[in-house]
């Protein structure tokens, strides 16, 4: 079986060597070249034609972000960002990176071991399957033109993984303030979800925030599950819905899990919900979406052509959980169509 060819771009010699040693221990991966700055990386890409590139953001001579913006329109390549806690990772995702991972502390041996032996190799393997293409500016759906929103839809639940940060941004950018309360699980490292929510809030007409335990689900508001060790579920309190964050083991390899969220929405909202599953590797959310559909909810899955990784939506579609399969740019429009049905 052909190994996945990796180019490592990292200016720290110590960390670069750790990356090479760690990744080469995985039988499915081969580090074919390394680079300490974007100019060297450009030459190595041409010479070695890697399948995936890992990229630090803080680099000499040119930032990793600027390099990515110059690279992707000319040479689309699956890129995994390795970064300290910084909002710049979301700029990198917008520029075309497939995924990102938090840079570990070299002095924290257990954290470093998990990063080198598990977390990063998995990200690279997923990235190698990604559909990268030249950046296309999304065409916004004119949500101002929608009719009055259906009153019997109380909640919208969205799940995503690899490629989801930009997919979610494209969907909620078209939400108006009368959209039903929206809850989201996006697989993301701890610490990044608050920055992501704040970023979306500044770009959207709706209020976007990282969910806190006890938050009420309200129209015109989007709640994003915090990354880390807590699952997010929804409970009903009278005629309203409330967020519950609870520590738990990983479900489908993730915490928070999309399935946990979708199952709870299926239980408490039934037919008064819309479920949406977006780009991502694996099957998290597929069974929960099926439960939502069986309990009367409308369900939407992102189509293969517009997915970075057609994993979660495919599993859901194959299970029969997806009622409407839509390209990413049409999902917001489809939501409003469903909200306006009589």
**Domain holding 100: CATH number?**
3.40.50.2300
Q: Are residues 154 and 197 in the same domain?
A: yes
> 137 pLDDT exceeds 90?
no
User: Do 45 and 161 sit in the same domain of this protein?
Assistant: no
Helix (H) or strand (E) holding 172: helix 164-172
Query: What's the rounded mean pLDDT across residues 95-103?
Result: 93
Catalytic machinery residues: 161, 187, 284
Same-domain pairing of 189 and 285: yes
Of 65, 98, 127, the residue that ends a domain is 127
Domain contains 314? yes
**pLDDT per residue over 218-273, tens digit each?**
999 999 999 988 999 999 999 999 999 999 999 999 999 999 999 999 999 999 99
Residues 234 and 325 in one domain: yes
Q: Is the pLDDT confidence value at 150 over 80? A: no
- Residue 216 and residue 262 in one domain: yes
Residue 132 lies in a domain: no
Which of 89-93, 143-147, 314-318 shows the lowest per-residue confidence on average (mean pLDDT)? 143-147
User: What mean pLDDT is reported for the chain?
Assistant: 92
CA-based nearest residue to 75, from 7, 28, 164:
7
Q: Which domain holds residue 282?
A: 143-339
H or E segment and range at residue 55: strand 52-56
Q: Is residue 135 part of a domain?
A: no
136 belongs to a structural domain: no
pTM of the full structure:
0.90
Clarify whether residues 113 and 206 are in a common domain.
no
| C-alpha distance across the termini of the chain, in Å | 54
Instruction: Indicate whether 137 belongs to any domain.
Output: no
- Considering the domain architecture, whether residues 180 and 56 belong to the same structural domain is answered as no
Q: Lowest mean pLDDT of 130-134, 190-194, 245-249, name the range.
A: 130-134
Read off the pLDDT of each residue in 55-63 and give the average, rounded to a whole number: 93
Rounded CA separation 261/288 (Å): 8
């Amino acid at each position: 079986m052909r190994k996945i060819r990796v180019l490592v771009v990292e200016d720290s010699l110590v960390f670069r060597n750790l990356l090479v040693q760690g990744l080469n221990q995985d039988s499915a991966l081969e580090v074919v070249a390394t680079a300490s700055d974007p100019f060297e990386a450009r030459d190595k890409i041409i010479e070695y034609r890697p399948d995936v590139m890992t990229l630090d953001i803080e680099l000499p001579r040119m930032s990793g972000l600027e390099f990515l913006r110059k690279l992707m329109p000319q040479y689309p390549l699956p890129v995994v960002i390795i970064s300290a806690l910084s909002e710049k990772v979301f700029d990198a995702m917008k520029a075309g990176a497939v995924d990102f991972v938090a840079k570990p502390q070299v002095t924290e041996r257990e954290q470093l071991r998990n990063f080198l032996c598990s977390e990063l190799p998995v990200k690279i393997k997923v990235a190698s399957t990604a559909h990268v293409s030249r950046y296309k500016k999304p065409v916004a759906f004119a949500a101002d033109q929608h009719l009055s929103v259906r009153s019997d839809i109380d909640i919208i639940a969205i799940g995503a993984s690899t490629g989801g940060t930009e997919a979610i941004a494209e969907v909620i950018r078209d939400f108006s303030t009368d959209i039903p309360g929206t809850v989201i699980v996006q697989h993301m490292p701890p610490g990044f979800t608050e920055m992501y929510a704040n970023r979306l809030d500044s770009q959207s007409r709706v209020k976007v925030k990282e969910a806190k335990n006890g938050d009420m689900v309200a129209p015109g508001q989007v709640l994003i599950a915090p990354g880390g060790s807590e699952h997010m579920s929804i409970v009903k309190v009278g005629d309203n819905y409330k967020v519950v964050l609870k520590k738990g083991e990983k479900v489908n390899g993730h915490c928070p899990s999309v399935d946990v969220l979708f199952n709870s929405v299926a239980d408490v909202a039934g037919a008064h919900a819309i479920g949406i599953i977006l780009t991502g590797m694996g099957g998290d959310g597929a069974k929960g979406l099926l439960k939502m559909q069986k309990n009367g909810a409308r369900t939407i899955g992102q189509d293969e052509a517009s997915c970075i990784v057609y994993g979660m939506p495919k599993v859901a579609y194959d299970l029969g959980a997806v009622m409407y399969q839509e390209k990413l740019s049409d999902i917001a429009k489809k939501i409003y169509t469903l909200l306006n049905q009589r």
